[in-house]
Structure 1
């Protein structure tokens, strides 16, 4: 599933980026980065966010990682380093980065809690971590029975095959960061409206198409229903909200900031 060799994988990643980047960049742009900032994006995918970070911190360095870096090969701009890296098993030295970002990564890892703790340890004093993952709770309450069926099939398939949690993990934010010794912990939710022809709808439709063979194999969505389901998503009148992108963040205290508030900050 979501194999980078799949013909539509590049298109799917770019559609996801077009859907998610504006909200992610809006929040990250509120944080001032130090001169020469060192940034890490885990699971950089198509590299759009890494490019934006590099433009935002000239003179710094953005390390863009993924387990498959074929779509990052074109990241040749100054300040970007591409590295093949498996966040489940490979480390960075403690205190390496001023900003650590991971979007749509931890929800798919069985070891998500342990990985998050290690990622926090990679923060330099004064550094921030930003985690963003999807939750499909909006699909469960959709008035559209096809969307409810697809949402349940996606959740069941990802849980059974990858050990993903696209229901409760992101819905619990920012609780996973509390108790990590961070300050200014906060959370934000963004729900995109899907239509048959916008980027959010395209991303969801391509993701569903990628998952359909496994859904059938695992018994979550019979093959007889698949073509009808995809046709339903292509209807000109299709409009729905099927998932939420939920973000959480926090900062490692600097030497001057250890007495600051350790409560929860809410994005406005």
Structure 2
């Protein structure tokens, strides 16, 4: 290969055609978990929320429903193209790099990031800036994957279809590590929140083992990185076509990596 693919940034580019499909599947899988925590933290009318690395529109819209009519939601991302259309009223959308740009001013009652920091090279600085943005008593809710905690998309490796799925996911993890992802980051969240000076820290974990949205997410993700899997010699086009056909049957029982949710309050 003439160019090192590992030096070209975030593996799952928001501008790629599969990104919207992925955002929809992630919303179906994880929004119930996210908003259970948001509601338990008491986020409601009049509050200010910062959604970091928003990606798709579903979380900013859900937060806006909770803080309306007098609250505000700031949705930021390095690539804000998937959230620009929801700007207006309660929601403001900005292009922003959480690890490089100053935190937005004003103080927030909630700062939330889901499946973001695992991909950020300078996680410690990003976390510092999110904590800095909290008002006293404000909550930081971080939700991130821990693929190494349960690395198999098919824990029930009962046949060649499941073995192929697990081999391709192993290759995908190799690509992520090459881009600087920390595949064991999720489990560290309670500790890093305490080390950041937050109080009342708690955490839990969730991952679906099978659902239609898991199949949609798996197919979209594999299609999105197909060229990298083949270029790196991780899989052949025949391997990928066979795997996508297996997923399409709906009988593969393919799951996701565990998502750790951790939250803490600024004193």
Task: Determine if the alignment matches structure 1 residue 210 to structure 2 residue 227.
Answer: no
The normalised TM-score by structure 2 is: 0.87
Alpha-carbon shift at residue 153 of structure 1 (Å):
0.9
55, 59, 84: which one pairs with 2:65? 55
Q: CA RMSD in A?
A: 1.9
Partner of 1:247: 261
In 2: Cα distance, 1:245 partner to 1:154 partner: 17
Give the 3 Å change call, closer, same or farther, for CA 33–242 of structure 1 in structure 2: closer
In 2: Cα distance, 1:154 partner to 1:139 partner: 11
Task: Determine if the alignment matches structure 1 residue 129 to structure 2 residue 140.
Answer: yes
Partner of 2:180: 163
Give the 3 Å change call, closer, same or farther, for CA 86–202 of structure 1 in structure 2: same
Partner of 1:153: 171
Instruction: State the SS of the aligned residue for 2:82.
Output: helix
Q: Which ranges of structure 2 fall in alignment gaps of 5 or more residues? A: 1-10
Alpha-carbon shift at residue 4 of structure 1 (Å):
3.0
* Paired residues for 1:13-52 under 5 Å: 13-33=23-43, 36-52=46-62
Partner of 1:189: 205
**Does the CA contact (< 8 Å) of 1:120 and 1:129 recur in 2?**
yes
7, 12, 27: which one pairs with 2:22? 12
**Does the CA contact (< 8 Å) of 1:94 and 1:124 recur in 2?**
no
In 2: Cα distance, 1:35 partner to 1:6 partner: 35
**Does the CA contact (< 8 Å) of 2:18 and 2:223 recur in 1?**
no
Instruction: State the SS of the aligned residue for 1:219.
Output: coil
Give the 3 Å change call, closer, same or farther, for CA 96–115 of structure 1 in structure 2: same
The total of aligned residue pairs comes to 249
Alpha-carbon shift at residue 95 of structure 1 (Å):
6.2
Alpha-carbon shift at residue 30 of structure 1 (Å):
0.7
188, 196, 206: which one pairs with 1:172? 188
**Does the CA contact (< 8 Å) of 2:209 and 2:254 recur in 1?**
yes
Alpha-carbon shift at residue 125 of structure 1 (Å):
0.2
**Does the CA contact (< 8 Å) of 2:146 and 2:186 recur in 1?**
yes
In 1: Cα distance, 2:104 partner to 2:76 partner: 15
Partner of 2:4: none
81, 88, 104: which one pairs with 2:99? 88
In 2: Cα distance, 1:217 partner to 1:153 partner: 12
Deviations 1:41-85 (A, max 9, x none): 011111111111111012111000111122112214521101111
Partner of 2:7: none
In 2: Cα distance, 1:226 partner to 1:242 partner: 18
Alpha-carbon shift at residue 107 of structure 1 (Å):
0.2
